[in-house]
Chain A
Amino acid sequence: AQKVTQAQTEISVVEKEDVTLDCVYETRDTTYYLFWYKQPPSGELVFLIRRNSFDEQNEISGRYSWNFQKSTSSFNFTITASQVVDSAVYFCALSEARLTTGTYKYIFGTGTRLKVLA
């Protein structure tokens, strides 16, 4: 069965600190996708990144970086030099891809609330 675990319920950091949000997943499929979404206080869900199971290259986008490790079934998210605007709930998600049946279900983690203090 699919499962996404975000063990950190809430993290508080002081501005300019680095912070890593953990995501551990379970799946039996060999082809799958992983995502991170951001939900700021305004409530919308914003897509941040997608990773497929065949691409273990880490990715950096500005102050954001993602570390995908299949060996530990983890897809962690690091914010460097955090800012107050980074305060949000961050969700990790897993999607198995069964194109022949049209099933494309997403499983979201419970989210990590990040508070960046000025």
Chain B
Amino acid sequence: DAGVIQSPRHEVTEMGQEVTLRCKPISGHDYLFWYRQTMMRGLELLIYFNNNVPIDDSGMPEDRFSAKMPNASFSTLKIQPSEPRDSAVYFCASSQPGTGNNEQFFGPGTRLTVL
């Protein structure tokens, strides 16, 4: 398996622009997680899905952030409009807890810079 795939790996944009981050989970994994990592706040869980349904979005910072999972193999995290404080590394992870091996497998991350 190719592992969790994220695109783009790097994104530089200007304040006010819309940003879309993409994630393809490991095939067969029922859970998908979006995290944000910054020096100040560490690793924060933004939202996670189970079988394409959002379970907990309490970590989404504000209405400018939205996430979707239209099917089992694709998810997006959108920021509109983006702000400089959104600059961070965004990780996507997937897991399959039903097997008892519920460790999360992370993608390589998307480094977002908002100027």
Contacts and interface: CB of A to CB of B under 8 A. Distances in A.
B89 A104 contact: no
A106 interface: yes
Contact of B43 (A46, A103, A108): A108
B33 interface: yes
Contacts of B55: 102-104
Q: Chain A's interface: helix, strand, loop or mixed, by majority?
A: strand
Nearest to A104: B97
A95 interface: yes
Q: Chain A interface: which size bin?
A: 20 to 34
Contacts of A75: none
Contacts of A44: 106, 108-109
Contact of A106 (B45, B50, B100, B105): B45
Interface in A89-118: 91, 95, 97, 99, 102-106, 108, 110-111
